[in-house]
Amino acid sequence: MKTDKQNIVDILNEQFYSVYKKNECKNGTVKNIDPYTTKTCQVSDTIFDPISVFKELKKLDKDKSVGVDGISPVLLNECAECFKTPISLIFKKSFNCSLLPSAWRNANITPIFKKGQRNVASNYRPISLTSIICKVMEKLIKNSMVEFLENEKLISSHQHGFVKFKSCITNLLECLDIITECINRGFAKDILFIDFLKAFDLVPHEELFVKLEAFGFNGKTLNWLKAFLSDRKQRVVLDGV
């Protein structure tokens, strides 16, 4: 059993890193897919205007932990009026040039024990702490992308995850309604549950970019997302080590 904190941190970091496998596409190429829409999402840097930045800064949870850059959400929230314009300019420059500071792409990983034996690295779940400022920019871009998807009706009405006003409860209610109708009409209904192990950790980036293009995202939006997902680093932090 390892007791030295540095050794423990190294073991946990190796465990968490092993999950994020780089999935190479078959034959080194990504299969093209037909576009889901003929329209494109015209995200402009106007979404980073000082007023929008100010509103997001005031929404920050002051209890959130800081990322690698060490910038506190309390500071950003309390000084939002002073920071809104310079942060707006930084966001616009980042978006237009597809450039991100390295601190925005680095993460401090806090290991959280799940269950089982405490001396087994795989029994810990990684909590990623990233830059608060970058999260604000991510939120503004995400809002614009979701608005486009909703306006173009590109999100299935049967999707309940990551959709405003929908949840596990609405999913269960819809399922219950279908089952009840089948019972009333004397029909049988089969239900299939699928759980993808670490699904979000194993998304091939190249395939994701092709999918985004098919949904109408290209130009500066796609270029920024590619930069955002490139050259990312992580480090496990445990009791200050």
- For residue range 89-137, list pLDDT tens digits in order: 999 999 999 999 999 999 999 999 988 998 888 899 889 999 999 999 9
Q: Which domain holds residue 54?
A: 5-153+195-236
Contact of 10 with 241, CB cutoff 8 Å: no
- For residue range 44-67, list pLDDT tens digits in order: 999 999 999 999 999 999 999 999
Cα three-residue angle 112-117-119, rounded to 5 degrees: 75
Amino acid at residue number 122: S
- For residue range 141-169, list pLDDT tens digits in order: 999 999 999 999 999 999 998 898 999 99
Burial of 148 (0-12, 13-18, 19+ CB in 10 A): buried
Report the chain's mean pLDDT, rounded to a whole number. 90
Judge whether 117 lies within some domain.
yes
Judge whether 114 lies within some domain.
yes
Please, which residues have CB within 8 angstroms of residue 108's CB and are 6 or more apart in sequence?
67, 68, 128, 129, 234, 235, 236, 237
Q: Could you list the beta-strand ranges (E) of the chain.
A: 106-113, 124-129, 233-236
The DSSP code for 25 is P
Judge whether 176 lies within some domain.
no
Judge whether 163 lies within some domain.
no
Helices (H), the chain: 5-19, 50-58, 73-78, 80-97, 132-151, 168-184, 205-214, 219-228
The number of domains in the chain is 1
Residue with token string 């997902």: 229
Please, which residues have CB within 8 angstroms of residue 114's CB and are 6 or more apart in sequence?
123, 124, 125
- For residue range 3-19, list pLDDT tens digits in order: 678 888 888 888 888 87
Q: CA 143, CA 28: separation in Å to the nearest integer?
A: 33
The DSSP code for 60 is -
Tokens at residue 70, please? 């060490």
- Other CB atoms closer than 10 Å to residue 27's CB: what's the count? 7
Judge whether 47 lies within some domain.
yes
SS3 of residue 141 by DSSP: helix
Judge whether 229 lies within some domain.
yes
Judge whether 178 lies within some domain.
no
List Cα–Cα distances, 205 to 21, 42, 117, 119, in angstroms: 11, 22, 34, 33
Lowest mean pLDDT among 50-54, 136-140, 203-207, 226-230: 203-207
List Cα–Cα distances, 187 to 173, 177, 180, in angstroms: 19, 13, 10
Mean pLDDT confidence for 204-210:
91
List Cα–Cα distances, 110 to 64, 79, 126, 214, in angstroms: 13, 28, 6, 36
Query: Is the model's pLDDT at 25 over the cut of 70?
Result: no
- Residue 23's pLDDT is 56
Judge whether 175 lies within some domain.
no
pTM (2 d.p.):
0.86
Burial of 76 (0-12, 13-18, 19+ CB in 10 A): buried
